[in-house]
Amino acid sequence: VLAATRDIDAAINCLEQAQAVASELADPRVEGMLLLDLASLHLMKNSYDSAMQAAQDALEIYQEQKDRQGEAFAMNKTNEVNLQKMDWEATTQTSLEQRAIFQELEDKSRAAACYLTVAG
């Protein structure tokens, strides 16, 4: 609701509090999801460094959990940041890594979507 009403700072505050609770509860997957949402809010404010940090923190959590799908989704968020920064090289590299994960998971439609990012 806060993000929809453009009170991004309040929304970020709420997500940071939720993320702290998830961390205390030792629920890494929920913490990763909250970090990806936090990255999205930072992108809405064009706070690229904060957005990238949140996405990379989520990626680390998913890697520690050996959650390959979560890794790929976190990579997608880093791609969103890189696209807005017009960092084409990083976007291409991450898309190819992401595609490899989706191929490993036999998710053909998401693997194909990675090609669209590279081609776009």
Contact between 77 and 58 under an 8 Å Cβ cutoff? The reply is yes
Give 118's pLDDT tier (boundaries 50, 70, 90).
confident
Q: Which pair of structure tokens corresponds to residue 66? A: 């050996």
Q: List, for residues 33-42, the tens digit of each pLDDT value.
A: 999 999 999 9
Q: List, for residues 60-95, the tens digit of each pLDDT value.
A: 999 999 999 999 999 999 999 999 999 999 999 999
Mean pLDDT of 46-63: 97
More confident residue, 104 or 27: 104
pTM for the whole structure = 0.85
The amino acid that residue 4 corresponds to is A
Contacts of 59 (CB under 8 A, 6+ apart): 71, 74, 75, 78
What are the sequence ranges of the domains in the chain?
8-119
Q: What is the CATH number of domain 8-119?
A: 1.25.40.10
Mean pLDDT of 101-113: 95
